[in-house]
Amino acid sequence: MGADTATQDAALKHTPLYRLHIELGARMVPFAGYAMPVQYPLGVLKEHLHTRAAAGLFDVSHMGQIALRAKSGRIEDAALALERLVPVDIAGLTPGRVRYAFFTNAQGGMFDDLTVAHLGDHLLLVVNAARKEADEAHLRAALGSDCEIERLDRGLLALQGPKAEAALAVLNPDCISMRFMDARVLKLMGAYCFVTRSGYTGEDGFEISMPADLAREMAEELLANASVAPIGLGARDSLRLEAGLCLYGSDINESTTPVEAGLSWAIQKVRRRGGIREGGFPGAEIILGQIEDGAPRRRVGLKPEGRAPVRAGALLFSGETADTPVGSVTSGGYGPSLDAPIAMGYVPAALAAPGTEIYAELRGKRIQAAVSTLPFIAHNYKRG
Amino acid sequence: MLKYTEEHEWLNLDGEVATVGITKHAAELLGDVVFVQLPEVGSKLAQGDGAAVVESVKAASDVYAPLAGEVVEVNQAVVDDPALVNADPQGGGWFFKMKLDDVKSTDRLMDEAAYQKLVESSA
């Protein structure tokens, strides 16, 4: 059988937690140019379930952290400048809040997805690891004349799950009063850290940006808590899939529009047609047109019949004997919390209604799959 | 008599029938198995044909026919409970039994010592 062997390539970059991952017994794999833990001895299945039941700690230090400041010194100017690249209401983002965003291109596709936090005197952008160089160049080219763009060399940890709050409160109880998508500068272990109540699992939790030389110590401190286990990229992927969250490069890319991807919710009214800051970002005409008229295809959830996982790349058909595929799966696998196969993919708008039965091709056979609403697992965020 | 392939399968030969599964090393590499698809009883396989599919949370892997023969029995228990492949890969987690076309063909496979060497050299 063709099992993958662990790869340790000297050319790969290391996060500040590299040694800790090795000491914890992680299996390391190359990911976006970094050696990253795909799983620890607990294994993907139990790591996934542990995160939903207690708390998981993820090293996401490979992601890009970029501070954006206006040369004028006014954060409002940085916010307005960033709006030239994203269809999101950044100017309306209040201090201490985070918004999900995406850089768009002239075709209405997505250059990357990111989060934008308002930290009082600057905006903190967190972008995908594989895109961080491209994103930085994109920002410099478009905003360099108005803005200071600083790549931060900091550690980034995600602490996710119903016990995340209690675990972080040991380091600073001020985190308890934070709500979903709040951002705050908190003193943790003597250092100022950027903390957001956000994540990529569908669970309550935090993402914590700390000085790189504190990352290992903080990870160990959090892992000393009996409810916190280290979680690898394997479970990170199955958790986000159950939560219906997009993976850049798989579910969204430069040829998918936000409307097709079901991300219109992230485009606030002020940026839409008739809004006070309508358009003004790449691909605005296409994206705003699709918000009004609908997109020709949509990202949907899929629940395949039976037990066999249907994975990315599987072709989708409208019928058991239909000749021409109508779309394909962009993410798929086994959902440990559902104990069933789940997938996401794009289908024509006419087939996008929940409950529609379509077919996925798997090893030459057609498997029935029901179009499902997303997320597969209800989000467990701390709101209000 | 226990034999091994470079694809990390084991065969336990009893007369002309070989029981086939994946090794402990392979099960550890795969991680938690969540799905197993087995061949039909009666299917005739050439050496190297895809015989079964084993899937972890992360990925799907093929299990190839280690030698030529006919599938005479499959282990429904691993279909019903794929975790058995991790729990007991070289016992209750067997995949299928095949009647070999040529029992002598097992001479080409590795014995336990040779397989252990392979595993150590790939570690």
In angstroms, what CA-CA distances link A30 with A233, A308, A370? 11, 27, 34
Give dist(CA A159, CA A156) in Å, integer: 10
* A384 within a domain of the structure (yes/no): no
Instruction: Flag if A5 and B22 touch (Cβ within 8 Å).
Output: no
Cα A369 to the center of its chain, rounded Å: 25
Q: How far is A286 from chain B (nearest CA, A)?
A: 36
* A112 within a domain of the structure (yes/no): no
Ramachandran category for residue A366: left, alpha or beta (phi over 0 → left; psi -120 to 50 → alpha): beta
Single residue among A242, A265, A288 that ends a domain in this structure: A242
Q: Which residue of B has its CA nearest to A333?
A: B57
pLDDT tens for each residue of A313-334: 999 999 999 999 999 999 999 9
DSSP string across B66-110:
SSSEEEEEE-HHHHH-TTHHHH-TTTTT--EEEEES-GGGGGGSB
Q: Is the ipTM of this complex over 0.90?
A: no
In the structure, what pLDDT confidence band is assigned to residue A384 with cuts at 50, 70 and 90? confident
Instruction: Flag if A44 and B7 touch (Cβ within 8 Å).
Output: no
In the structure, what pLDDT confidence band is assigned to residue A366 with cuts at 50, 70 and 90? very high
Q: Which two tokens stand for residue A154?
A: 């900091």
Helix (H) or strand (E) holding A328, with range, is strand A327-335
Q: Which residue of A has its CA nearest to B61?
A: A2
Q: Does the structure show a pLDDT above 70 at A4?
A: no
pLDDT tens for each residue of A24-66: 999 999 999 999 999 999 999 999 999 999 999 999 999 999 9
Is A84:A170 a contact under the CB 8 Å cutoff? no
Query: Are residues A235 and A164 part of one domain?
Result: yes
Q: Which of B35, B69, B67, B68 is nearest to B52 (CA)?
A: B35
Q: Which two tokens stand for residue A298?
A: 């949509």
Q: Which residues make beta-bridge pairs with A366?
A: A361
3-state secondary structure at position A220 = helix
Query: Are residues A207 and A317 part of one domain?
Result: no
In the structure, what pLDDT confidence band is assigned to residue A6 with cuts at 50, 70 and 90? very low
In the structure, what pLDDT confidence band is assigned to residue A102 with cuts at 50, 70 and 90? very high
Instruction: Flag if A1 and B8 touch (Cβ within 8 Å).
Output: yes
Query: Are residues A334 and A198 part of one domain?
Result: no
pLDDT tens for each residue of A282-295: 999 999 999 999 99
Instruction: Flag if A2 and B32 touch (Cβ within 8 Å).
Output: no
Instruction: Flag if B61 and A2 touch (Cβ within 8 Å).
Output: yes
Q: Which of B35, B57, B62 sits opposite A1 (nearest CB)?
A: B62
Residues of chain A with Cβ-Cβ distance to B22 below 8 Å are 1
Encoded amino acid at B14, one letter: D
Query: Are residues A168 and A238 part of one domain?
Result: yes
Query: Are residues A355 and A214 part of one domain?
Result: no
Please classify residue B70 by burial: count the beta carbons closer than 10 Å to its beta carbon, then call 0-12 exposed, 13-18 middle and 19+ buried.
middle
* A236 within a domain of the structure (yes/no): yes
Mean pLDDT for chain A overall: 96
Q: Which of B35, B24, B12 is nearest to B86 (CA)?
A: B24
Query: Are residues A171 and A30 part of one domain?
Result: yes
Q: Does the structure show a pLDDT above 70 at A10?
A: no
For the segment A332-337, the average pLDDT, to the nearest whole number, is 97
Single residue among A172, A207, A242 that ends a domain in this structure: A242
CATH of residue A324? 2.40.30.110
Query: Are residues A340 and A217 part of one domain?
Result: no
3-state secondary structure at position B15 = coil
Q: Which of A234, A237, A309 sits opposite B35 (nearest CB)?
A: A309
Quickly tell me which residue has 């016992």 as its tokens: B91
Encoded amino acid at A186, one letter: L
Q: Which residues of B touch A (CB under 8 A)?
A: 7-9, 22, 26, 29-32, 34-35, 37, 53-64, 122
Helices (H), A202-245: 215-223, 233-242
Please classify residue A270 by burial: count the beta carbons closer than 10 Å to its beta carbon, then call 0-12 exposed, 13-18 middle and 19+ buried.
middle
Query: Are residues A161 and A34 part of one domain?
Result: yes
Query: Are residues A188 and A50 part of one domain?
Result: yes
Single residue among A242, A262, A278 that ends a domain in this structure: A242
Count of A-B CB contacts under 8 Å:
66
Instruction: Flag if B57 and A4 touch (Cβ within 8 Å).
Output: no
In the structure, what pLDDT confidence band is assigned to residue B101 with cuts at 50, 70 and 90? very high
Domain that holds residue A329: 296-372
* A165 within a domain of the structure (yes/no): yes
Q: Which residues of A touch B (CB under 8 A)?
A: 1-5, 38-39, 43-46, 48, 234-235, 237-238, 307-309, 311, 333-334, 336, 341, 363
pLDDT of B122: 81
Q: Which of A71, A219, A180, A200 is nearest to A129 (CA)?
A: A200
* A127 within a domain of the structure (yes/no): no
Percentage with pLDDT > 70 across chain A:
97
Q: Which residue of B has its CA nearest to A339?
A: B34
Name the phi and psi angles at A358, rounded to 5: -125, -175
For the segment A1-19, the average pLDDT, to the nearest whole number, is 71
Cα A51 to the center of its chain, rounded Å: 16
Q: Delineate the domains of chain B, giving CATH numbers in brackets.
A: 2-102 (2.40.50.100)
Looking at A8-22, A25-39, A302-316, which range is the least confident one?
A8-22
* A12 within a domain of the structure (yes/no): no
* A235 within a domain of the structure (yes/no): yes
Percentage with pLDDT > 90 across chain A:
97
**What is the C-alpha end-to-end distance of chain A, expressed in Å?**
51
Residues 6+ apart with CB under 8 A from B96: B19, B20, B38, B39, B51, B52, B71, B73, B74, B75
Residues of chain A with Cβ-Cβ distance to B58 below 8 Å are 38, 44, 234, 237, 333
Instruction: Flag if B35 and A334 touch (Cβ within 8 Å).
Output: yes
pLDDT tens for each residue of A231-280: 999 999 999 999 999 999 999 999 999 999 999 999 999 999 999 999 99
Instruction: Flag if A333 and B57 touch (Cβ within 8 Å).
Output: yes
Encoded amino acid at A135, one letter: D
Give dist(CA B36, CA B44) in Å, integer: 19
For the segment A209-215, the average pLDDT, to the nearest whole number, is 98
Percentage with pLDDT > 90 across chain B:
95
CATH of residue A43? 3.30.1360.120
Residues of chain A with Cβ-Cβ distance to B29 below 8 Å are 3-5
Residue A275: how many other CB atoms lie within 10 Å? 14
Q: Does the structure show a pLDDT above 80 at A175?
A: yes
In the structure, what pLDDT confidence band is assigned to residue B1 with cuts at 50, 70 and 90? confident
Helix (H) or strand (E) holding A71, with range, is none
> Between helices A44-53 and A233-242, what is the axis angle to 10°?
60
pLDDT tens for each residue of A109-134: 999 999 999 999 999 999 999 999 99
Residues 6+ apart with CB under 8 A from A381: A180, A203, A204
* A78 within a domain of the structure (yes/no): no
Domain count, chain A: 2
Residue B39 DSSP one-character state: P
Q: Which of A45, A307, A311 sits opposite B60 (nearest CB)?
A: A311
